[in-house]
């Protein structure tokens, strides 16, 4: 399997080539509930997560929404 290196929340991470944002959640065994995704300083809407393929050097920020009172 061929891997690429991305920045995930500021840490270097190797993932398989042609990984989508949805695929990233699966690869890392993370829940996608209540998550916002930023790719190279732009928000990616959930409807596009399967279409968007990650590339070498991409910067991904995953932000979990939490409620409070």
CA-CA distance, 50 to 14, in Å (whole number)? 19
Enter the tokens of residue 64: 């979990």
pTM (global) more than 0.85:
yes
- Which residues lie closer than 8 Å to 62 by C-beta, 6 or more apart? 8, 9, 30, 35, 36, 37
- Per-residue pLDDT of 3-23, as tens digits, reads 999 999 999 999 999 999 999
**Could you read off the pLDDT of 25-48 as tens digits, one per residue?**
999 999 999 999 999 999 999 999
Domains identified in the chain and CATH numbers? 3-64 (3.10.20.30)
pLDDT in tens, 55-67: 999 999 999 988 7
């Amino acid at each position: 399997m061929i891997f690429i290196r991305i920045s995930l929340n500021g840490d270097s991470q190797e993932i398989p080539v042609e990984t989508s944002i949805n695929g990233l959640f699966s690869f890392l065994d993370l829940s996608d509930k209540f998550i916002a995704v930023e790719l190279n300083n732009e928000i990616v809407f959930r409807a596009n997560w399967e279409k968007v393929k990650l590339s070498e050097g991409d910067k991904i920020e995953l932000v979990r929404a939490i409620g409070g009172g």
